[in-house]
Structure 1
C-alpha cells in the first residue's frame, strides 16, 4: 500500500465550506474495479481534511488486490478521528461498497455511525431551482464554473489500473491518482451546490416592493449568498436570485373578480337582481323574488387590481380570495390586502415548486 499526501491553501472560505467542511469533517471518494462490491475490490481511497485554510488530500493506493485490506484498515483508523463524512453519491455507493468489502475481511467498520452528508442527494432537493441536465459531479462542476484536468471517468480507469497493477507502469499510476485527486478536490469546491437546498429552508426577509405597469416587483434577502445566480420563469411571474438577494416579478390582473362567502346559508338570492341579501333583511321580500342562496350564488364582486397566488399556497383564513367564477381554481388577492409576509410566502412557494 502507498500513502500519497498533497496540500494546498484555500483562497476563500465560502458559506458551504464553512458550514459543511470543518475540521471535524472527512471528505472521501473510492475507486474500484467494478460496480459490484462482491465481484470487485477497492484499489484507491482518497480523502481530504481541513486545518484552518489548509487542505490536505491523502490517497491510499493498493498496488494490487491483496493490499485492499491494508487501505481499508488504514481508512478505518482515519475515520475514527472524525464525526462527519462528506462525499458525492457516497451513502448509496462508497459507503455501501466499503461496508461490503470490510465484511469480506471481517473488519468492523465505523462508517455507519458517522454523520454522513451525501452532496448528490442534497443537491437533488433543489431540482426545482437548478434544472441541471443531471446531477453527476462533473455536471455540477460545470454549473459552478469549475474545470478539471482529468479526462477519464471511473469506469475508463479500470483497465488502466489493471495495467498498472500488472506492470507497475508509472504513467498509468499518475492517471489513476490524478482522477481521484481531482474528484476529491472537486468535491471541496462543489460543496457550494449545498447553498441551493439550504436556501429553500432558510429565512427570507422582505425588503420592499413596488407596483408598475401591471406588475409587482419584490426585493427580498437571505443570509445565504449563492455562488451562481438563478433566473426562473413561472406561469405567474419570474424570480432572479443574485448573491443573497431575491428579485421577484409577478403579474397583476386588472378587472372584476368575485369573492365567495362561506356562510351562504345566511343569505337569500334575489332572482331578478342577481344579487344576495342577508336573510334577516330579506324576509319581507316576496318569496317569488327570492330563494335560499347556494355556494355559487353567494358572491361579492370587486373591481380593482389583483395578484394571482399559487393554487396550493396556504395564506390562512384571514384574507379574502377572489376568483373569476365559482368553478375557477385560480385565486387572487386584492392588491390592497397584500402584506409583506404574504409576499415572502409566495416567494418561498415559487422557489420550491
Structure 2
C-alpha cells in the first residue's frame, strides 16, 4: 500500500459550518474496479480534511491486490477522528461498496456513529425545479458555469489500474492518483449547489405583495398575486420555474412568486352530506334542520357532489388546504381555492406553508382550469 499526503489550497465556495464544524468534516471519494462490492476491488481511497488552519489531502493506494485490506484498515482508523463524512452519491455507492468489502475481509465497518452528508441526495428533490437533465457531477458543474475537462472517467481507469498491476509504470500510477485528487479538488466547486436546498428549505420573509396585470398570448389581461420574499442565503445562479397556475423566479436572496387568480363562482363542499338537503331550484345545499321546512318537491337528499354552497368573487389557488373554507369548481377537481378575502399572508406559518406547496406542486402534479378575469378590487389583510 502507498500513502500520499499533501497540503491543498481549496477555494472557499460554501459556508461549511452549515454542515458541521469544519474540523469534524471528512470529504472522501473512492476508486474501484467496478460497481459490485461483492465481486470488484477497491484500489484507492482519497480524503480531504481541514487541520492546522489548512486543507489537507490523504490517499491510500493499493499497489497490489493484496493491499486492499490495508486500505480499509487505514481509512476506518483515520475516520475515527471525524463526525461527518461528506461525499457525492456516497450513500448510493461509496459507503455500500466499502461495507461489502469490509464484510468480504471480515473487518468491522466504522461508519456507525458517523453522520453522512450526501450532496447528491440533498439536491435530488430539486432536480426538476433547477432544470437539471440529470444529477451527474458534470451536469451540476455545467449548471454552475464551471468548465472542467476530465481526460478519463472512472470506467476507463479500471483498465489503467489493471495495466499498473502488471507493469507498475510511474505514468499509470500518476494518472490514477491525479484523477482521484482532481475529483476531491473538484468537490468544493460544486458545493455552491447546496445553497439551493438551503434557500428553499428555510422560512422566507415576505417583503412585498401586490396584484399585477399581465397580458396573455391573445392580449387579454389576467391578474396575478405577486409575492416577493427574502431568504437568509443567496443562490449563485438565477432560476425560473413554472408550476402552473404559478411560477417563480429566484435570484440572489430573493424569490418572487406569481400565482394566477381565478374569477367566477366556486363551491364549498360539506363532508357530512347525509345531514343535508340539496335545493335544485336554488342550486345549493342546506342542513336538514333548515331544509325540513322546505317543500318536499323543492328538496332532495344531498350527495357528496351536490352538498355545496356557492361563492362568487376572486380566488387564490391552494396547492394544499391552508385557508378555510376550501373552494372547488367541481367535487372531483384536484385544484382547491380560497376566497381572496380569506387569505392571510401576514401569517408567517401560512406564508411558508403556501410557498412550500407551490414549490412542491410541480413534483406531485394536479389539474387546473383557466377562467377569464376582469379587473378586481383586491385588498390583503
Shorter-chain-normalised TM-score: which range? Answer: 0.7 to 0.9
> Distance in 2 between the 1:165 and 1:208 partners?
65
Q: Of 330, 337, 340, which aligns to 1:332?
A: 337
Bigger shift: residues 175-184 or 53-62: 53-62
* Stretches of structure 2 lacking an aligned partner (at least 5 in a row): 214-222, 364-381
* Partner residue, 1:349: 357
Q: Secondary structure at the match of 1:165?
A: helix
Shift of 1:74: 2.1
Q: Of 315, 322, 330, which aligns to 1:315?
A: 322
Q: Quick check: 1:258–1:325 contact (8 Å CA) kept in 2?
A: yes
* Partner residue, 2:148: 148
**Which deviations, in whole Å up to 9, do the C-alpha atoms of 1:261-293 show, x marking residues without a partner?**
557667665554545667666666554445555
The residue correspondences of 1:121-270 to structure 2 (distance < 5 A) are 121-213=121-213, 214-261=223-270, 270=279
Q: Quick check: 1:17–1:188 contact (8 Å CA) kept in 2?
A: no
Give the number of equivalent residue pairs. Answer: 349
Q: Secondary structure at the match of 1:228?
A: strand
Q: Secondary structure at the match of 1:111?
A: coil
**TM-score (norm: length of structure 2):** 0.79
Q: Secondary structure at the match of 1:225?
A: strand
Shift of 1:27: 0.9
Q: Secondary structure at the match of 2:230?
A: strand
Q: Quick check: 1:309–1:330 contact (8 Å CA) kept in 2?
A: yes
**Which deviations, in whole Å up to 9, do the C-alpha atoms of 1:35-71 show, x marking residues without a partner?**
3334332221110002376321222222222333333
Q: Quick check: 2:10–2:188 contact (8 Å CA) kept in 1?
A: no
Question: How large is the RMSD of aligned CA atoms in angstroms?
Answer: 3.0
The residue correspondences of 1:104-115 to structure 2 (distance < 5 A) are 104-115=104-115
**TM-score (norm: length of structure 1):** 0.85
**Which deviations, in whole Å up to 9, do the C-alpha atoms of 1:148-184 show, x marking residues without a partner?**
3432111101121222333232322222122101211
* Partner residue, 2:366: none
Q: Secondary structure at the match of 2:233?
A: coil
> Distance in 2 between the 1:97 and 1:263 partners?
55
Bigger shift: residues 26-35 or 274-283: 274-283
Structure-2 change in CA distance of 1:20 and 1:156 (3 Å): farther
Bigger shift: residues 11-20 or 43-52: 11-20
Q: Quick check: 1:25–1:83 contact (8 Å CA) kept in 2?
A: yes
* Partner residue, 2:72: 72
> Distance in 2 between the 1:21 and 1:185 partners?
20
Shift of 1:297: 4.7
> Distance in 1 between the 2:185 and 2:159 partners?
23
The residue correspondences of 1:9-20 to structure 2 (distance < 5 A) are 9-16=9-16, 18-20=18-20
Q: Secondary structure at the match of 2:23?
A: coil
Shift of 1:79: 0.8
